[in-house]
Amino acid sequence: MSLDPRPSTLDLSIPRHDWTLTEVEALFARPFMDLVFEAATVHRRWFDPSEVQTSQLLSIKTGGCAENCGYCSQSAAFDTGLKAEKLMDATAVIAEAMAAKAGGASRFCMGAAWRELKDRDTPKLATMIAGVKALGLETCATLGMLTADQARQLKDAGLDYYNHNLDTGPDYYADVVTTRTYQDRLDTLEHVRSAGMKTCCGGIVGMGESRRDRAGLLHALAQDDVDGRLKLGRQPVDVGHPTGQQALGLALVARLVCPRAMVRLSAGREGMSAEMQALCFLAGANSIFVGGRLLTTSNPGEDADAALFALLDLRPMALASPPPLGEGDREAVEGASPTGVVWTEPPPSPSLRYGSTSPNGGGLA
140 part of the active site: yes
Rounded-to-integer distance, Cα 15 and Cα 11, Å: 9
Rounded-to-integer distance, Cα 121 and Cα 295, Å: 19
Torsion 120-123-126-131 (CA) sign: negative
Output the known binding site. 65, 69, 72, 109, 140, 200, 264
72 part of the active site: yes
Active-site residue identified among 30, 107, 140, 212: 140
User: Residues with Cβ < 8 Å from 85, sequence gap 6 or more?
Assistant: 61, 62, 63, 64
201 part of the active site: no
258 part of the active site: no
Active-site residue identified among 65, 201, 258, 280: 65
Active-site residue identified among 72, 201, 258, 280: 72
Active-site residue identified among 30, 109, 229, 260: 109
Residues counted in the chain: 365
280 part of the active site: no
The alpha carbons of the chain give a radius of gyration, in whole angstroms, of 19
Residue 184, CA distances (Å) to 8, 191, 267, 272, 326 in order: 34, 11, 24, 33, 35
Count Cα neighbours of 203 within 13 Å in the Cβ-side half-sphere.
31
103, amino acid identity: G
Active-site residue identified among 30, 115, 120, 200: 200
Output the known binding site for [2Fe-2S] cluster. 109, 140, 200, 264
Alpha-helical regions (H) of 134-210: 148-157, 182-194
Active-site residue identified among 107, 211, 214, 264: 264
Rounded-to-integer distance, Cα 199 and Cα 185, Å: 12
Q: Is 129 within 8 Å of 157 (Cβ atoms)?
A: yes
Output the known binding site for [4Fe-4S] cluster. 65, 69, 72
Active centre residues (catalytic): 65, 69, 72, 109, 140, 200, 264
